[in-house]
């Protein structure tokens, strides 16, 4: 029953009954659990001999164990007043999502300036006003956690899904920012329709254009909150 971002201890046993590491069938993991079920922390053998630090251990999450922001798709969303620092000329938007069905819906949007969303075919896309839209070719599996990243570096729009970069859309146009609220689970321009249905977690807004390597370094970890370039962080640690 541990929730993302909280430290806890877990016992993990090999599915075939064999060894996990050395001569032990069981290891203990002390670390942070995030939305997709990954645990990052110190790995200890059952005899308390330290095996390795910062090893990623992946466990199976039941759908009933989902945590994060739960939205039913009908006029449920989070609206955050514009703090005044979300209009950077370059930026990155990240979020973990879990959808029960394929439905066209927003994940995170900032007025008409930009939107991280999912189309009716289950593909994630990132749209930047006056620039264009990059759609990833990966079809999201329902009832499964996926990590989405939209990037605008000033001249191209990029989309990363589960560590896989989509060829970027290049343009000479410059995006148009606005002062509308940041919306999680809805579009600012029409928050009462096509709302998000499923779970959203670990929403992050950066004023830098991150790359695949930097995204991979942090996507399986909760953040401290003062990382360079991080201007918005919404870790839904408990069920909402």
Mean pLDDT, range 105-131, rounded to an integer: 93
User: What's the pLDDT score for residue 188?
Assistant: 72
Question: How would you classify residue 61: left for phi > 0, otherwise alpha for psi between -120 and 50, otherwise beta?
Answer: beta
For the stretch 42-100, pLDDT in tens is: 444 444 444 444 444 444 333 344 578 999 888 889 999 988 888 899 999 999 999 99
- Whether 36 has a pLDDT exceeding 80, the answer reads no
Instruction: Name the band, by pLDDT with cuts 50, 70 and 90, for residue 142.
Output: very high
Residue for token pair 């749209």: 127
pTM of the model: 0.74
| CA 25/CA 213 separation, integer angstroms | 33
First to last CA, the chain: 15
Identify the band that residue 146 occupies on the pLDDT scale cut at 50, 70 and 90.
very high
- Residue 133, pLDDT above cutoff 50: yes
Residue tagged 């390597």 (tokens): 213
Q: Which of 133, 60, 144 is nearest to 102 (CA)?
A: 144
Q: What is the pLDDT of residue 66?
A: 54
pLDDT of residue 83: 81
- pLDDT (tens digit per residue) in 147-204: 999 999 998 999 999 999 987 788 878 888 888 999 999 987 555 567 899 999 999 9
pLDDT value at position 207? Answer: 96
pLDDT (tens digit per residue) in 214-239:
999 898 888 889 999 999 999 887 54
Q: Helix, strand or coil for residue 215?
A: helix
47 burial via Cβ count (<10 Å: 0-12, 13-18, 19+): exposed
CB burial class (10 A; 0-12, 13-18, 19+) of residue 12? middle
């Amino acid at each position: 029953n541990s929730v993302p971002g909280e430290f806890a201890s877990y016992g993990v046993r090999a599915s075939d009954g064999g060894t996990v590491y050395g001569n032990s069938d069981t290891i203990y993991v002390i670390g942070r659990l995030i939305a997709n079920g990954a645990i990052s922390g110190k790995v200890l053998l059952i005899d308390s001999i330290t095996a390795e630090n910062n090893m990623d251990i992946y466990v199976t999450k039941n759908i009933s164990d989902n945590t994060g922001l739960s939205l039913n798709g009908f006029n449920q969303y989070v609206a955050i007043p514009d703090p005044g620092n979300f209009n950077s000329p370059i930026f990155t938007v990240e979020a973990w999502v879990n959808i029960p069905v394929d439905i066209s819906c927003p994940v995170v949007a900032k007025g008409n300036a930009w939107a991280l969303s999912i189309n009716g075919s289950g593909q994630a896309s990132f749209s930047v006003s006056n620039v264009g839209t990059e759609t990833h070719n990966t079809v999201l599996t329902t009832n499964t956690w996926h990590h989405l990243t939209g990037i605008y570096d000033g001249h191209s729009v990029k989309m990363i899904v589960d560590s896989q970069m989509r060829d970027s859309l290049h343009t000479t146009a410059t995006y148009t920012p606005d002062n509308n609220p940041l919306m999680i689970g809805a579009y600012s321009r029409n928050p009462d329709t096509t709302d998000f249905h499923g779970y959203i977690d670990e929403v992050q807004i950066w004023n830098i254009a991150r790359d695949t390597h930097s995204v991979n370094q942090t996507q399986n970890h909760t953040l401290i909150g003062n990382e360079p370039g991080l201007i918005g962080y919404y870790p839904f640690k408990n069920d909402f």
